[in-house]
Structure 1
Amino acid sequence: MYFDRSNLSDTELLSFYRALLYPRLIEEKMLLLLRQGKISKWFSGIGQEAIAVGATLALEPDEWIMPLHRNLGVFTTRNMPLHHLLLQWQGSQDGYSKGRERSFHFGSRAFHICGMISHLGPQLSIADGIALAHQLKKEHKVSLAFSGEGGTSEGEFHEALNVAAVWGLPVIFLVENNGYGLSTPVSEQYHCKNLVDKAIGYGMEGVQVDGNNLLEVYQTIRTARAYAIKEQKPVLIEAMTFRMRGHEEASGVKYVPPELFEQWGKKDPVAQYETFLRESHLLDTTGIEAIRQELKHRIDEDVAKGLEPLPFAVNTSTELEDIYAPAAPVIPPSGTASEKRFIDAISDGLRQSMEQYPELVLMGQDIAAYGGAFKITEGLLGSFGKERVRNTPLCESAIVGTALGLSIAGFKSMVEMQFADFVSCGFNQIVNNLAKMHYRWGQTADVVVRMPTGGGVGAGPFHSQSNEAWFTHVPGLKVVYPSSPEDAKGLLNAAIADPNPVMYFEHKALYRSISGLVPDGYYTVEIGKARLVQAGDDVSIITYGSGVHWALEYAAAHPALSIAILDLRTLLPLDYTAIRDAVALTGRVLVLHEDTLTGGLGGEISAWIAEHCFHLLDAPVIRCASLDTPVPFAVALEKNFLAKSRLDQCIRQLTDW
């Protein structure tokens, strides 16, 4: 094995040895602790240390790394205290994630390490977002994302590389090819000769390296870093290596041919580097042993400190409070107001939020020169430029991940889904990354996803879904659904101001069909607060979105019936105080929504009322919702599908009780 020591001093070569040996010795200690039952799980990177260590050494300390399971060397090379890591691995309340995550599923802003999720691929597009932030700030920095060879089969790999290439982002994508994704060999994982060959398909540079050669990894990453910064382009690196233990210790290695262990054992990265140091007369056997004993002693001290039994004080209030970061204060409207359509109120809010927050970036398909499918962003490109108003490739998942990366780097972002239906392609990033980020390691996900939603416009089953209930079940998200122009602007401004991820639903049928007075200046409407549209004595309709207008229309057509209408406005978190008050007004409650009946938010609201307001009820809570079918195209079928067609029947059922 040839080691290129170009531009490296003897002191650096020796410090590199300590950096390489340290995670190996920690690994050996962890395997012992695992057998003793003192830690519960371990993903071993023995045999792969040179990649994590070499890559981390090659970056600046403030450049973000997106590591995976077998990258202990990233954490140790960034000098994270071992005793603190041990607390994390035990699930201690004093670990990096307060006991909420295990093993390497955590991050740290202080060390510029982004916590992984088990779905692996989403890490790559987060790197895109961080690199975009460097680019926007004119910083000479890169981001680096790890992937295994198995992760290259995921759609996110394609999407992230494509976005980085199209936008010219300084990202290093580092694939650790260790031959197996758990037990699946590369022959069953991909059919190209080398993974690095994929680089040419994205129009980026690709390099294959010996992942067991510390200096080759280091020199390659340093070169790639310089290239990515100078040329503002991504690089794909495939590091060839081998996993000397199972995917995790419980998996074993019976599926691996024994001769591979012998073959790769001769290429052990620690042993090979020690041989290089001996041949370079920098260390002899005595010196090597002295360093080993010194590091082992240090590890033993940290283990003794990190394995001390600590009390775990469970506090339910703290758990719930840590779901969200503190929201921005409400800014009430002031000054003049003008008549605006629903769609114009949203556009107005976007423009004023762009002025309010210079760090706000808008992203979405066709949103730049074209102005978006519904022309909501029309004119913003001319006002704010292509860096802040960005057309995206057709890859919802990677763009949501990019938005998260921007947030990690201190930006705000708005992602426009062309139709709410298409959000399913970005579902994983939203529910597993955005939603859980703050709870897991205190990192905000300052992202708004705008969702043109709903039926009534003859758009058929793939452009008309009401899918808000998909997200109301996910702790960590906020779900907003305005029904009036004034709320549309104020809630959008509030969503952008809020450091938490917000799903902002806007009903397409309301865009140009309703108007109202909207304050001209910048203001926000508090997220989480419902609005009593009108009081009543006979029936309370609890609703949101298009349901508000259906209820108002019905009330106007039936003046003999005194109807209270509560517009929820925010679906997560729900305003339970307002719901209770609406129940108390009449004792008869109808929950109305355009979403389908089964699994719709009406079921949750009805259950809460039954549990908490039973003494206030004079009749069972009735739900009025759309049919449990996809949204049909034909006008007659769609009218029959929508909840509005059953509103009169449901109210009669309620009043006849």
Structure 2
Amino acid sequence: MSSKIEFNVNSISNETLFQLYKSMLKPRLIEEKMLILLRQGKISKWFSGIGQEAIAVGVTSVLEKDEYILPMHRNLGVFTTREIPLHRLFSQWQGKMNGFTKGRDRSFHFGTQEYNIVGMISHLGPQMGIADGIALANKLKNNNKICAVFTGEGGTSEGDFHEALNVASVWSLPVLFCVENNGYGLSTPSSEQFNCKNIADKGAGYGMESHIIDGNNILEVYSKVDEIAKSVRKNPRPVLIEFKTFRMRGHEEASGTKYVPQDLLDYWGAKDPLENYQAFLKSEGILTEEIEVSLKEEIIQEINEHLQLAYDEEKITPNLETELNDVYKNHQYKAILPATEKKNIRLIDAVSEGLRQSMEKYDDLVIMGQDVAEYGGVFKITDGFVEKFGKERVRNTPICESAIVSAAYGLSVNGMKAVVEMQFADFVSSGFNPIVNLLAKSHYRWNENADVVVRMPCGAGVGAGPFHSQTNEAWFTKTPGLKVVYPAFPQDAKGLLIEAINDPNPVLFFEHKALYRSVYQDVSENYFTTEIGKATLLKEGNEVTIISYGAGIHWALESLEKNAAISADLIDLRTLQPLDAETIYKSVKKTGRAIIVQEDSLFGGIASDISALITENCFEFLDAPVKRLASIETPIPFEPNLEKQYLAKNKLEKSILELIAY
């Protein structure tokens, strides 16, 4: 196995040949400085890309400045080739305000719309799904743009890799999937990561064009990727590119390289992309010793000057208000009043109407989900949408919740809106990671909102059993950055769904399946909004406050109808995050008693937090302990009598009366 690199100039100009050298030299010199600073304790962590510069520099040099690129830990060359001022990078690595995350995330966990870079999260896999969404937006805009996304050979073991490539292939999305095969996923060698000779071999399984490129040969990277990029711009499709390279230092510096055989390090050390290319340019008379020394002095001076700018910047002074305000993108609610013209429809019809009118309002809104197109969704909510809006905007997806949520985020990054339908709320567990680690944290981390609504058909009462009946809102009310909406009536469902789509923040929108076709209401026919974060008082009384949402509201109404003597405030929360605590406190201070009803099992549910809030804020007004009522601590059974026993409904009436009599 030869370590010699053969450089083929083809028709590349001397100016470009020299520029590629400068572009590789800069990140190398920065890295050498960072390793010194790491040893001095002036930065906290470093993921070295030494020996891999040709890939980041070559790919970025080929992409147009307004084409998105999604780098990973070892792609410093992406950021420098995009000409981000060095002091901003240094501020980022030192946790200063002039970085890109206000000190909230470190190293390369950041993105910037200014430079069309989307930063990674540590879970790696969703990055590829984001690229799908960005590419889909490019395709829908018909702008002949591509995007490139990086991952390592270790990341190809994640399910997200399969999902993202599969979606990209099925939808013919213009994405370059760039896999840096550098030999090791931390300490695990490639032989223990996958059992095929080349990662590029996997392309055939997706019906996808693939290439293997010498990742240490800058001219091969530049020429071949340039050729591929030009072709993909003309003929949109995904391409899998495997770059053969090696990681010369530890996964991060603390890891070291003791697990790597010395002969392997020696072999790849001889294939150093910068040193080999430097020697080649000198042999061609394009680079001289004097020019090399001068250029290094120039870059080192730039590094030192920009480092000083970062050092001189004050440390971040924690500001509680700033931290809390940045969890969500600021959104000013604009009330669009419901019309007096109404028709009596079911909750399912109201959801469909809200979706349809939102699709009419926003040309850049895309609906994605399993069977949502011609079939109209399993609940027929999008029935007829393909005929009206077309298959480009109403998209059937493969069964891959994680990639589709990530793609929805990519659509948002590229200036569009997305609604994702989970066929059943239970299935969201397969897309849990991108919701809680990508959508939820995005605005807080790097000021990039996620304009995504995830629709969640949920709930028991229809004999669907443990995998199709959960009401799993507590998975998400715990996660800062998400909004959680859960209507009980058709009018609210329509107005809240429209507002959820208007809201630039990620919203989990729960729709109870048992209410879909059983609850009717006169619903305004126009496009109107209902404010997220506001509860409603359905009944007024002075003996007890009943707090619930979704099906629990209808259980409470039924109990009150059976017991006309009970004088109760009945609060429909409608929104669980943000929670309308003030409406709750006002009522409890009046009645002195509170019962919170949820369909979910008790422990860890939202009723527990509401109970704690009431106790902490209304204790002196209470005449009885706060009561929580929930379903039993089991999964949800299928058989009707077992399901009836499971649900909290059959205990509600007795619990209310006991609380009043306390």
Report the TM-score, using the length of structure 2 for normalisation: 0.98
Return the alpha-carbon distance in structure 2 between the equivalents of residues 24 and 162 of structure 1. Answer: 35
- Identify the residue that residue 487 of structure 1 maps to in structure 2: 492
Out of 99, 102, 117, the residue aligned to residue 121 of structure 2 is 117
Partner residue of 1:460 out of 443, 454, 465: 465
Q: How much has 1:298 moved relative to structure 2? A: 1.3
1:538 aligns with 2:518: no
Q: 2:61 matched to which residue of 1?
A: 57
Matched, 1:577 2:582: yes
Q: What are the within-5 Å matches in structure 2 for residues 149-298 of structure 1?
A: 149-298=153-302
1:481-506 CA distances to partner (integer Å, 9 max, x unpaired)?
00000000000000000000000000
* Cα deviation 1:318-374 (Å, max 9, x = unaligned): 111111112242322134111111010011100100011111000000000000000
Work out whether residues 96 and 310 of structure 2, in 8 Å CA contact, stay in contact via their aligned partners in 1.
Answer: no
Contact 2:180–2:243 (8 Å) recurs in 1:
yes
Q: Give 1:7 shift.
A: 2.9
> Does the aligned pair in 2 maintain the 1:330–1:494 contact within 8 Å?
no
Cα distance in structure 1, aligned partners of 2:306 and 2:433? 37
Instruction: Confirm whether residue 4 of structure 1 aligns to residue 8 of structure 2.
Output: yes
Tell me which residue corresponds to 1:561: 566
**Cα deviation code 1:491-532 (max 9, x no counterpart):** 000000000000000000000001001111000100000001
Helix, strand or coil: the match of 1:110? helix
Moved more, 308-317 or 168-177: 308-317
Mean CA deviation greater in 300-309 or 276-285: 300-309
CA deviation profile, 1:615-634 (whole Å, cap 9, x unmatched): 12111000010011000000
Of the candidates 594, 600, 603, which is equivalent to residue 599 of structure 2?
594
Residue 54 of structure 1 contacts residue 218 of structure 1 at CA under 8 Å; is this kept in 2? yes
1:335-484 alignment, distance < 5 Å: 335-484=340-489
Which of 633-642 and 219-228 deviates more? 219-228
Provide the C-alpha distance between the structure 1 equivalents of 2:8 and 2:311, rounded to a whole number of angstroms: 40
Q: CA RMSD in A?
A: 0.9
Aligned partner (choices 312, 317, 324) of residue 313 of structure 1: 317
Deviations 1:276-303 (A, max 9, x none): 1012111122221221121111111111
What is the CA–CA distance in structure 1 between the aligned matches of 2:8 and 2:351, rounded to whole Å?
58
State the distance in 1 between where 2:607 and 2:631 align: 11
576-585 or 62-71, larger mean C-alpha shift: 576-585
Report the secondary structure of 1:613's partner residue: helix
Give the Cα separation in 2 of the matches to 1:26 and 1:140.
34
State which of 325, 331, 335 in structure 1 corresponds to 2:336: 331
Taking the aligned partners of 1:329 and 1:219, their CA distance within structure 2 comes to 51
Contact 1:182 1:246 in 2 (8 A): yes
1:624-635 aligned within 5 A: 624-635=629-640
Q: Residues 103 and 316 of structure 2 are in contact (CA less than 8 Å); yes or no, is this contact kept in structure 1?
A: no
Q: CA deviation at 1:584?
A: 1.9
- 2:82 aligned with 1:78, yes or no? yes
Shift of 1:315: 1.2
Instruction: Indicate which of 137, 141, 152 corresponds to 1:137.
Output: 141
In structure 2, C-alpha distance between the alignment counterparts of 1:302 and 1:573, rounded to whole Å: 42
Task: Select 1:25's aligned residue among 29, 51, 64.
Answer: 29
Deviations 1:250-301 (A, max 9, x none): 1111111111111011100000110110121111222212211211111111
> Alignment partner of 1:207: what SS?
strand
CA distance in 2, matches of 1:226, 1:401: 26
Maintained 8 Å contact 1:536/1:585: no
Alpha-carbon distance in structure 1 between the residues aligned to 2:654 and 2:252: 58
Other structure's SS at 2:655 match:
helix
Q: Distance in 2 between matches of 1:367 and 1:307?
A: 53
SS in 2 for 1:623: strand
Mark the runs of 5 or more structure 1 residues left unpaired by the alignment.
Answer: none
Query: How many Å apart are 1:5 and its aligned residue?
Result: 2.2
Report the CA distance between 1:215 and its aligned residue: 1.2
Q: C-alpha distance in 2, partners of 1:226/1:311?
A: 45
Q: Distance in 1 between matches of 2:10 and 2:567?
A: 84
CA distance in 2, matches of 1:593, 1:309: 50
Give the corresponding residue for 1:146.
150
Deviations 1:91-136 (A, max 9, x none): 1122111011100001000000001100001100100000000000
Shift of 1:230: 2.1
CA shift for structure 1 position 645? 1.4
| Alpha-carbon distance in 2 for matches of 1:115, 1:79 | 16
Q: Check conservation: 1:623, 1:650, Cα contact below 8 A.
A: no
Work out the CA distance in 2 between the residues paired with 1:361 and 1:257: 50
Contact 1:47 1:268 (C-alpha < 8 Å) held by counterparts: yes
TM superposition shift of 1:218: 1.1
Given that 2:248 and 2:265 are in contact with CA atoms closer than 8 Å, whether structure 1 keeps it comes out as yes
Counterpart-to-counterpart distance in 1, 2:217 and 2:654: 74
C-alpha contact (below 8 Å) 1:625/1:642 kept by paired residues: yes
Q: CA deviation at 1:309?
A: 4.8
Distance (Å, rounded) in 2 between the aligned partners of 1:641 and 1:601: 18
Query: Residue 606 of structure 1 aligns with which residue?
Result: 611
Counterpart residue identity of residue 337, structure 2: P
Kept in 2: contact 1:227–1:233 (CA 8 A)? no
Aligned residue pair count = 657
Structure 2 CA distance for aligned equivalents of residues 408 and 206 of structure 1: 27
1:585 Cα deviation from its structure 2 partner: 2.7
State which drifts further: 219-228 or 338-347.
219-228
Q: Distance in 1 between matches of 2:527 and 2:657?
A: 43
Q: Distance in 2 between matches of 1:309 and 1:363?
A: 45
Q: Is the 8 A contact 1:330 1:526 kept in 2?
A: yes
Is 2:628 aligned against 1:623? Answer: yes
| Secondary structure of residue in 1 paired with 2:500 | helix
> Among the aligned pairs, what percent are the same residue?
59
Tell me the TM-score normalised to structure 1 length.
0.99
Give me the whole-angstrom Cα distance separating, in 2, the residues matched to 1:309 and 1:299. Answer: 15
How far the C-alpha of 1:181 sits from its partner, in A, is 0.4
Provide the C-alpha distance between the structure 1 equivalents of 2:303 and 2:316, rounded to a whole number of angstroms.
Answer: 24
User: Alpha-carbon deviations, 1:413-458, whole Å to 9, x = none?
Assistant: 1000000000000000000000011111111100000000000000
Whether the 8 Å CA contact 2:71–2:149 is kept in 1: the answer is yes
SS of equivalent residue, structure 2 residue 111: coil
